[in-house]
Structure formats: structure tokens, C-alpha cells
């Protein structure tokens, strides 16, 4: 007898959500891509994506033909699913603060329809403390679903492989029970799963981007000094990356600084959290 496919609802259908939905379908899941926008749903079901990502449109059409993938604005499909993924690309306001309105709106629908003892996997970029609130809300309901935080790490232009073949997956757990559920979800994934608390996983995401932002600022300052000394910054970078404590993949490319976006968002979140809890973070102020 053929074993029925596990079903996943992926909520949010822009770059992150489309990548995750199509990638999971390619691994044999029955995937429902769900969002609020009706026009986009119709186009997605014809294999027309709202963005360009190499290889994603072809993979989408293939999974649609196989019947592994469908798109809808009916959140009731969550009732059929073993796993629910929030995968919105969280927008930021004009001060680089994350705007969680769409994520919270989606969670409002999810909590109505998620299965008893189901698993909610949050991949969207959210401030530390958000997933614990989701978990507490679900635990107070009759559903008592678990929550995992699995921060996204997909890269524009290489999204499919950076998700399916990532060096590791960071997994924040709401309880001991969550661990076995997320292991089943990632049964196809053969690289390390790094388990930690929800708060630790959220802070990892903020800290990675803060570290990268610091690296950008650092190497640009060294480039300014290099110019005055008539040193070659490309040679300096080569020397830095040759040190195993820094490494060849270090984020050390001098040029224009960053302004807002992903890096700015996480710097803003860290500074807001530091202010809330009375912690000084002068390095990233």
C-alpha cells in the first residue's frame, strides 16, 4: 500500500514562501501554498511567479503537474496539514523596524485551523520573543500545537540550493516534544539540525545579520586607511581571509555600505531589545 504524502501548508507567497513551498513539494510533500491575495493565487496555479529566481519557475510547473503543489487563499486547507509554515518576507517600515502585521494576521488564521498537536514552523524574520507568544497562545487553546523557529537563510539568485542544501538548519524548540516533530519534517535533510530554545534561535538570526553588518563597516574603515597608506585593500582582504579564525567566506568586501533592509532590520531589533532590557550594545548602536 502506498504511504500517503505528508501535507504542509506554507503561508506567504513571495520569495521565501514560494521557495520553501516548491522545494518541499520537490521532496515529496503535498504542499498547499496559501496567501490572502486572490490574483496572485490564480497566476501561481498557472506557474507564473511574482518574482524571478533561477530554476524556481520550472520547478514550480513540474510540481504542479505532479500534483504535489497547489495554491489557494482558503486557510481552511490548514486543517488537512501535518505542518504549517509561516514564510512571509517580513517587511520593514521607514525606520527599519519589522512590520509584523501580515505575520500576525496569518497567525490569527492559523490558530483557528491548525491540527490538534500540530507543528507551526516560523521561518519569517520576527523579533526575539515572538515565537514564545505564539506558543503560549496555542497552548492556551484546545489545539496545544507546538512551535519551531527555523530562521530563513535563502539567498537571492541561489534560493533553492541555499534552502535544501544549507550547511545547517537552526531550529528553535518550544518544548522537548517539538524536536521529534521537526526531525520528521526534515527527514530528507542530511546535514546538521542545531537545536536550541525559541529565544536562542531568534537571537541567532538577529546576531548573524548584526555580525555581517559589523563586518561591512569594519572592512570599509580599513579600506579608507588602506587608501591613505597606499596599501592594496584586495591584498589586505586576501590576508585576512587566509587566517582560519576569519575564513575564506568572511563578509569582507569593501564598497558601498548598507542602508536598511535585512541587516538594518536586525540591528534595529537588537537595539530595541537592548533598550527594553537595559543592556548596552555600543558596538552596534
* Residues annotated in a binding site: 35, 90, 205, 251-255
Q: For residue 167, what are the CA distances in angstroms to 72, 131, 161, 164, 233?
A: 32, 24, 10, 9, 29
Residue reference for cell 553588518:
213
DSSP 235: H
Binding region for NAD(+): 35, 90
* Residue 236 near residue 226 (C-beta atoms within 8 A): yes
Distance CA 179, CA 233 (A): 46
Picking from 131, 150, 129, 151, the residue whose alpha carbon sits closest to that of residue 139 is: 131
277 by Cβ neighbours in 10 Å (0-12 / 13-18 / 19+) ranks as exposed
DSSP SS3 for 98: strand
Q: 179-203 burial by CB neighbour count: b if 16+ within 10 A, else e? A: bebbeebbeebeeeeebeebebbbb
* Cβ atoms 12, 102 nearer than 8 A: yes
Q: Which residue has 542602508 as its cell numbers?
A: 259
Residue set of the binding site for substrate: 205, 251-255
Give the span between the Cα atoms of 254 and 236, in whole angstroms.
Answer: 11
The β-bridge relationship of strands 69-72 and 30-34 is: parallel
Among candidates 82, 85, 80, which has minimal Cα distance to 21?
Answer: 85
Q: Report the distance separating Cα 134 and Cα 123, nearest Å.
A: 13
Alpha-carbon gap, residue 222 to 215, rounded angstroms: 11
Amino acid at each position: 500500500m502506498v504511504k500517503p504524502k505528508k501535507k504542509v501548508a506554507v503561508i506567504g507567497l513571495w520569495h521565501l514562501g514560494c521557495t520553501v513551498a516548491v522545494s518541499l513539494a520537490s521532496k515529496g510533500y503535498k504542499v498547499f501554498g496559501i496567501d490572502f491575495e486572490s490574483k496572485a493565487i490564480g497566476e501561481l496555479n498557472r506557474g507564473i511567479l511574482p518574482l524571478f529566481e533561477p530554476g524556481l519557475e520550472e520547478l514550480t510547473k513540474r510540481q504542479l503537474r505532479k500534483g504535489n503543489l497547489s495554491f489557494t487563499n482558503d486557510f481552511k486547507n490548514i486543517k488537512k496539514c501535518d505542518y504549517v509554515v509561516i514564510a512571509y518576507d517580513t517587511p520593514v517600515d521607514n525606520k527599519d523596524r519589522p512590520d509584523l502585521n501580515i505575520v500576525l494576521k496569518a497567525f490569527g488564521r492559523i490558530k483557528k485551523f491548525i491540527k490538534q498537536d500540530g507543528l507551526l514552523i516560523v521561518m519569517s524574520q520576527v523579533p526575539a520573543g515572538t515565537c514564545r507568544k505564539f506558543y503560549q497562545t496555542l497552548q492556551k487553546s484546545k489545539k496545544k500545537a507546538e512551535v519551531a523557529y527555523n530562521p530563513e537563510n535563502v539567498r537571492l539568485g541561489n534560493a533553492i540550493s541555499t534552502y535544501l542544501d544549507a550547511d545547517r538548519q537552526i531550529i528553535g524548540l518550544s518544548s522537548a516534544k517539538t524536536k521529534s516533530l521537526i526531525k520528521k519534517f526534515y527527514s530528507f535533510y542530511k546535514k546538521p539540525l542545531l537545536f536550541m530554545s525559541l529565544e536562542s534561535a531568534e537571537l541567532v538570526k538577529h546576531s548573524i545579520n548584526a555580525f555581517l553588518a559589523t563586518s561591512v563597516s569594519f572592512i570599509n574603515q580599513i579600506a579608507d586607511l588602506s587608501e591613505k597608506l597606499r596599501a592594496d585593500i584586495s591584498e589586505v582582504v586576501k590576508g585576512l581571509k587566509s587566517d582560519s579564525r576569519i575564513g575564506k567566506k568572511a563578509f569582507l568586501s569593501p564598497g558601498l555600505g548598507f542602508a536598511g533592509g535585512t541587516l538594518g532590520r536586525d540591528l534595529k531589533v537588537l537595539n530595541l531589545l537592548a533598550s527594553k532590557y537595559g543592556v548596552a550594545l555600543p558596538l552596534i548602536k
